[in-house]
Structures are given as structure tokens and as C-alpha cells.
Structure 1
Amino acid sequence: MNMETALKSAMEIDGAVGVALVDYESGMALGAMGGGRHLDLELAAAGNTEVVRAKMRTVASLQLGDEIEDILITLGKQYHLIRLLTSDRSGSLFLYLALDRGRANLALARHELRRLAAQLTV
């Protein structure tokens, strides 16, 4: 599945507000959909890059011998999901999905984002 199709599919998830494919080495969004005046996806991409980098440093420091699958940030009105793509096929990329907490089913959204990440070809 190409990037545009994956982003469109992510926006079909119940409660989706915005989605971006982000390179966490540069902090740049390679593609984005949704967002609007209440969610600046470019700014969110850069900010969440710092979250990913910090968590990766922590996992390495703890010598857990494991990899991050996803990161969930729970806000009062939104869920923010960060799904890292498998590094051997996609480099340093993650999918970022913002959801309206009142309309989203978190479990189903995580499942769907995992499926999209597995099918995405970059």
C-alpha cells in the first residue's frame, strides 16, 4: 500500500482528526492528511519526533533488548498514537494519528494503525 492510500485509510478510522507519516531523523512529515486549525500536523510531526527519540534513548539506556511498537499519549479530548514502522524496510519512519477521544475506539484504532503500518510501502 502506498503512502497516500495508507493516509486516506487512516483518516477513515473512527474519530480520526489527522494523520502523518514522519521521518524521526529529520522531524519532517513526508505526508499528512486532516489536521486543520486545531491540529498543526507539521508541528505535531516535529514534536512527536522528540518523543520518539527520547523513548528510543531510554529503551537503549535500560538495555531492554526490545523495540518500541507504538506510543500512546492520552489527552483530555484526544488520543495521539505513534506507530513505528519496522526499521529494516522503512528506515526511521512512524505513523502519527490523532483521534477525537469522544468518537474513537482506541483498541480498534491501534489495531487498524498496526495493519496499515504493516502494509505500507515507502
Structure 2
Amino acid sequence: MNIETALKEAMAIDGALGVAVVDYESGMALGSLGGGPHLDLELAAAGNTEVVRAKQRTLASLGLSDEIEDILITLSGQYHLIRPLTSAGGSLFLYLALDRSRGNLALARHGLKRLEAELEI
């Protein structure tokens, strides 16, 4: 599945507010859907790049050889899920923002895992 199709399928997840495929080396979104005046996906892509980089540095400092499966940020009204794409050589991640009142976190995580497995970059 290509990036455009993956983004459309991610937006079909209940409660999805916005989604992006992000290169965490540059902080740039390769593609995005959704967002709006209260969710700037370009800004979120750049900011979440720093989150991924910080976690990667922490794992390296701790000497852990584990890979990040996903990173969850909970806000009072939203969930933000970051899922590194191991199939893309580790330099890309999926970012999904969910409305907390409408979304199901477990189903969203499962959906992103499925998209990662099917995404071809």
C-alpha cells in the first residue's frame, strides 16, 4: 500500500483528527491528511521528530537494543500515537492524533500496526 492509501485508511480510524508519515531525520512530513486550525500537522511532525530522537538517544544511552514499538502522548482531549516504521529503515514514523472522546486507543494502535505492515515506501 502506498502512503496516500495508508493515510486515508488511518483517517478512517474512529476519532482520527490527523495523520502524517514523517521523516524523523529531517522532521518533514512525506504526506498528511486531516488536521486543521487546532492541529497543524507540519508543526506536529517537526515537534514529534524531537520526541522520537530523544527516545532513541535515551535507549542508546541506556544500552538497550530494543526497538520502539510506539510512543503514546495523552492530552486531556486527545491521544497522539507515534509509530516508527521499521520497514522503512527506521527513519520514518506514523503520527496519528485521535479525539480522546471518540477514539479507541487499543484499536488505533492495532490499526497503525496493520498499516505499518502493509505500507510500501
Q: TM-score range by the shorter chain?
A: over 0.9
* Structure 2 unpaired stretches of 5+: none
Work out which of the residue numbers 88, 100, 107 in structure 2 matches 1:90: 88
Q: Which amino acid aligns with 1:40?
A: D
1:1-122 aligned at under 5 Å gives the runs 1-86=1-86, 89-91=87-89, 92-122=91-121
Aligned length: 120
When the two structures are superposed, what TM-score results if normalisation uses the length of structure 1?
0.97
Instruction: Please state whether the residue corresponding to 2:63 is helix, strand or coil.
Output: coil
Cα RMSD of the aligned pairs, angstroms, is 0.6
Gap runs ≥5 in structure 1: none
SS in structure 1 of the partner of residue 76 of structure 2: coil
Runs ≥4 in structure 1, deviation > 2 angstroms? none
> Aligned-pair distance for 1:65?
1.5
Identity, in percent, stands at 79
Deviation at residue 62 of structure 1 after TM alignment: 0.5
TM-score (norm 2): 0.98
Deviation per CA, 1:6-35: give whole Å up to 9, x if none. Answer: 000000000000000000000000000000
